Amino acid sequence: MAVHSRKPSVRESSKPYGRNKINRSHRTAAKSPALKARPITAKRHRATSLQIRRSVPSSPFHHTRVAITDLDIPVDSRRLVLIDGENVAYNDITDEYIANRMYQAYQWFVANGHRAVVLCPEYLSRKLSGQTPYMQIEVITNIEDGHQNHSTNVPFERTVLQRADEDEAAIVSERSFSSSYGEYLDIVKNRVIGFSFFRESIFIPVDPYGRAGPWLREILRK
């Protein structure tokens, strides 16, 4: 007896992988959700500002220009000002001692409310040219005269430094005091005020020691 078997049709045949086939031409990439910007709250803003400020190195100078130039110091806190008459009077251009230069320095500090005294070696009165206006002058005796005394005069320098130490005073001078400071090093480093002249008018810097200080206001205040 012949057995007839029917060949299964293609439609009826099993296609185990047909249903899982992916058509790449129609596949689209999954879109990731867009990132939302985080609102900057007041707290975050303050933290950011603080971080920026801290990243900038702070200046060692805590003075404003007004504070530096303001010499309105309480009367009880104002230092006495000792003016080195020999050094201030000397004009290095004409090589002569001019009395008016001492007066200009004296008047500058008096006008700013400080008591000032001009210290002069006894021999200086013979060298001064021009009339000597009224000012408080204190003559120092027993100081020998010399050719370069306007720049280096150890006995006179030590007398000025000793007086500044006793009276807690500031000194107006362009001397270096390198040969005479001794135990008065603190005065030389913190209480000497330089100057310059232009057409017989004196100019006192607000920063006699440069940007490192101390400033003029600090020097003139006890």
| 69 within some domain | no
Q: Report the number of distinct structural domains present in the chain.
A: 1
Q: Find tokens 């990243």 and name the residue.
A: 55
pLDDT score, position 46: 45
Q: Which of 201, 163, 150 is nearest to 80 (CA)?
A: 163
Torsion of CA 150, 86, 130, 110, to 10 degrees: 140
The mean pLDDT value for 162-191 works out to 94
Domain span at 198: 77-220
Residue 209 lies in a domain: yes
Kindly report, residue by residue over 18-41, the tens digit of the pLDDT. Answer: 455 545 444 454 555 555 555 555
Specify if 143 maps to a domain.
yes
pLDDT surpassing 70 at residue 192: yes
Q: Is residue 90 part of a domain?
A: yes
Contact between residue 106 and residue 137 where contact means Cβ atoms under 8 Å apart: no
Indicate whether 37 belongs to any domain.
no
- What pLDDT does 38 receive? 57
> Does residue 18 fall inside a structural domain?
no
What is the arithmetic mean of pLDDT over 48-75?
Answer: 48
Global model pTM greater than 0.95: no
Q: Which residue has the tokens 């001009």?
A: 118
What's the CA gap between 35 and 15, in Å, rounded?
Answer: 43
Report for 39-48, 62-71, 118-127, 129-138: range of highest mean pLDDT: 118-127
CATH of the domain at 196: 3.40.50.11980
Beta strands in the chain (DSSP E): 81-84, 90-91, 96-98, 116-121, 128-129, 137-140, 170-172, 192-193, 196-198, 201-203
Q: Which pLDDT score is estimated for 52?
A: 35
Q: Give the whole-number percent of the chain exceeding pLDDT 90.
A: 56
| 1 is a domain residue | no
Tally Cβ neighbours within 10 Å of residue 171: 25
Helix residue spans in the chain (DSSP H): 42-55, 65-69, 85-89, 99-111, 154-167, 185-190, 216-219
124 is a domain residue:
yes
Q: Express each pLDDT in 81-106 by its tens digit.
A: 999 999 999 999 999 999 999 999 99
Q: Which residues contact 165 (CB under 8 A, 6 or more apart)?
A: 184, 187
pLDDT for res 50? 36
Cα–Cα distance measured from residue 188 to residue 162, given in angstroms and rounded to the nearest whole number: 11
Phi, psi of 207 (to 5 degrees): -130, 70
